A and B are shown apart, each in its own frame.
Chain A
Amino acid sequence: MSAVAQRPEVAAPLLELRGVSKEFHVPGHRTPLSAVSDVSFSVHDGETLGLVGESGCGKSTTARVIIQAPKPTRGQILLRGVDLASLRGSALRRARRQVQMVFQDPYSSLDPRWKVRDLVAEPLRVNRIGTRAEQVKRVDELLHLVGLNPKQYGDRRPRNLSGGQAQRVGIARALALSPSLVICDEAVSSLDVSIRAQILNLLEDLRTELGLTYLFIAHDLTVVKHVSDWVGVMYLGRLSEYGRSEAIYRSPAHPYTASLLAAVSEMPEADRPEVDEIPSPFNPPSGCRYRTRCPYAQAKCAEEVPELREVAENHRVACHFPLIAH
């Protein structure tokens, strides 16, 4: 047995998803909506996994099932090797504290009636962490950490903050409980270019300073490239490609990834079929879900679901006819 297998508490990735699916039953629709389907990946300490894909492909749903709100329909979510579904009560609450989220719209995720100080203290109060005095000290610390002077900003309300400042408050809140994993769901998508650069630099500084691990969800492939060590590409609820970010950006193996990259760079793109509509998640195509838009689709693609398999070290792709065979 290897040393790794003997010490699972060290070897276990911080987060692991095993065959996770989420279906929604929507009134008026006979079939359930398949938002996330059989997704497996892991995130290791100190590394950032970027999750990309088109609108509606299931990125946010993946994030939400990780924090068990809502629970997945099938599959397991393991935090340091422990299945979250097996936890109850205080054990579950403790585990969930390890994972915090930063959302897209900084204003709508902050209660407009509260002062910055109280917004950042809220997670500490709810979880009864520390005395009043300790909480006050911790809030100051957190505000400094995200680059806000507590004296200048502590007593402001969200409407008196700029978008970038409000997002810094959102980040401070997420960091209050000292999480191991921070899920950024489009956390910089609504910020303008210069503030986005400031927040991206802040997230990177916090990562090295606090040893944070990120699941970084974004639709902007350039931003994802900037922050990620690993990248997962989702299409219609499925993970279509997963691997080291340099490999995926240098030589995308899935036709879908190639088309995403072509949209943002000068990369050549194969001719698309005339009809280029995203199929309905209520009734996804048989076999490969991308086949209705794929320029390389063949008969096999309608018959067999392509499994995620390795095309190179640290590079997996779910396609019967990958673009590279290394």
Chain B
Amino acid sequence: MVTSTEGGIVSTINSVAMEHSLIVERLSVSFKSGAGDVHAVNDVSLRVTPGKTLGIVGESGSGKSVTVRAVMGLLGHSATVTGSACLDGEELVGMPEDQLRRRRGIKMAMVFQDPMSSLNPTMRIGSQVAEAVRQHRKVGRREAWSEAVALLRSVRVPDPERRARDYPHQLSGGMRQRVMIAMALSARPSVLFADEPTTALDVTTQAQILTLLDDLKQRYGMGVVLITHDLGIAARHTDDLAVMYAGRVVESAPTKTLIGAIRMPYTQALMDAIPRIDAPSHSPLASIEGSPPDPSKPILGCAFAPRCPRVGDRCTTTPLLAEGEPGHRWACWYPLGVDA
């Protein structure tokens, strides 16, 4: 289902088509459910630039995965998607499944959170990567195998000729995720969605894989959407940031701008919950008390209000995402560091 967007927005799409490979405008997703519809994503707008990484940050359940799955067309029939998602000038929302399937893999690929559930336990990892290669290009088995080995090497699987013959259970968690990334990269997509790709990995591997993604995105002009709940990683490895809460983007800006001057109390709370390497052992952490609102219940006013330390009178009215400073948008009545 597609809703028409306002004229102003449509015209900007054309003028910035060269600049952005993916433009998401006012995307909303709801799921049918017995206990009332689940409004998982509300009015989300995002832009992905070739050769750059957009980070989407937010707590569990904030709608990060549903947003990218909606763009990829991976949500089932229980989902109602409205708004627009344009990939290289083509509207994806409402595109028939067979056409979407062709674009997945070639134009857009995804690395998921959980590598084990996406790997076939009865197949050698080399064969699985080779199969991914053969889905996108007509090459012989031998060539696909050697390409698979090369891909495994590029994601730093040690001794790739040998490890290609291993089964998933013989690999540690980190190695399995490298295999998944090799499979996603096999088609050299124009946008790569990475949904918490390094959450389970150690720091050096994290750094290596994010650096690898940096290399690849620059070499192939690939746009990367990196989903993470770790604002620290996002600060180091993204060019642009969008912070999500309860299905909405609540703050967005180029990463340097945003980290340099956080405006949304929620973004600040996410930052404060990260343990600090320079703090003494056993010091208590500032955790955000309570939990995000139930997406099947209507929300009145700012969704963060029940947990917000700055909540005030105006917060009973929903604050809209608006540009408060050049390139920096936030949805808050009482932003940090801004005099009222």
Do chains A and B stick together as partners?
Answer: yes
Whether A221 lies near B200 (C-beta < 8 A) is no
Question: Could you say which of A53, A193, A261 contacts B202, with CB atoms under 8 Å apart?
Answer: A53
Whether B204 lies near A280 (C-beta < 8 A) is no
Question: Could you say which of B156, B159, B203 contacts A280, with CB atoms under 8 Å apart?
Answer: B159
- B231 interfacial by beta-carbon distance below 8 Å: yes
- Residues from chain A with a CB closer than 8 A to the CB of B156 are 276-278
Whether B173 lies near A55 (C-beta < 8 A) is yes
CA distance A53 to B202 in the complex (A): 7
Whether A189 lies near B277 (C-beta < 8 A) is no
Whether B203 lies near A263 (C-beta < 8 A) is yes
Q: Shortest distance in angstroms between B114's beta carbon and chain A's nearest beta carbon?
A: 8
- Residues from chain A with a CB closer than 8 A to the CB of B338 are none
Q: Shortest distance in angstroms between A158's beta carbon and chain B's nearest beta carbon?
A: 15
Question: Could you say which of A55, A197, A222, A263 contacts B172, with CB atoms under 8 Å apart?
Answer: A55
- B284 interfacial by beta-carbon distance below 8 Å: yes
Q: Shortest distance in angstroms between A195's beta carbon and chain B's nearest beta carbon?
A: 7
Give the contacts of A203-246 with B (CB-CB under 8 A): 204, 219-223, 225-229, 245-246
| B contact residues, range | 35 or more
With A55-B174, A197-B286 known as contacts, the answer to whether A190 contacts B162 (CB < 8 A) is no
- B59 interfacial by beta-carbon distance below 8 Å: yes
- CB closest chain-A residue, reference B113: A190
Q: Shortest distance in angstroms between A136's beta carbon and chain B's nearest beta carbon?
A: 28
With A56-B172, A201-B284, A204-B284 known as contacts, the answer to whether A222 contacts B202 (CB < 8 A) is no
- B229 interfacial by beta-carbon distance below 8 Å: yes
Whether A280 lies near B158 (C-beta < 8 A) is yes
- A314 interfacial by beta-carbon distance below 8 Å: no
Q: Shortest distance in angstroms between A162's beta carbon and chain B's nearest beta carbon?
A: 7
Whether B288 lies near A282 (C-beta < 8 A) is no
Q: Which of B208, B277, B279, B288 has the most CB of A within 10 A?
A: B277
Whether A249 lies near B284 (C-beta < 8 A) is no
Give the contacts of B283-303 with A (CB-CB under 8 A): 283-288, 291
Whether B203 lies near A194 (C-beta < 8 A) is no
- A104 interfacial by beta-carbon distance below 8 Å: yes
Q: Shortest distance in angstroms between A75's beta carbon and chain B's nearest beta carbon?
A: 21
Whether B175 lies near A55 (C-beta < 8 A) is yes
- B207 interfacial by beta-carbon distance below 8 Å: yes
With A162-B291, A246-B281, A277-B158 known as contacts, the answer to whether A104 contacts B275 (CB < 8 A) is no
Stretch in B80-88, B96-104, B185-193, B266-274 with 4+ CB within 8 Å of A: B266-274
CA distance A276 to B209 in the complex (A): 13
- A198 interfacial by beta-carbon distance below 8 Å: yes
Whether B281 lies near A219 (C-beta < 8 A) is no
- B276 interfacial by beta-carbon distance below 8 Å: yes
Question: Could you say which of B159, B175, B207, B277 contacts A282, with CB atoms under 8 Å apart?
Answer: B159
Whether A227 lies near B282 (C-beta < 8 A) is yes
- Residues from chain B with a CB closer than 8 A to the CB of A261 are 277
Whether A192 lies near B229 (C-beta < 8 A) is yes
- A8 interfacial by beta-carbon distance below 8 Å: no
Q: List 13 A-B contacts (CB under 8 A).
A: A55-B205, A60-B172, A193-B270, A201-B285, A219-B202, A219-B203, A222-B275, A225-B279, A229-B281, A263-B207, A264-B203, A280-B162, A283-B159
Binding site for B on A (CB under 8 A): 26, 28-29, 52-56, 60, 104, 162-164, 186, 189-198, 200-201, 204, 219-223, 225-229, 245-246, 249, 259-261, 263-265, 276-280, 282-283
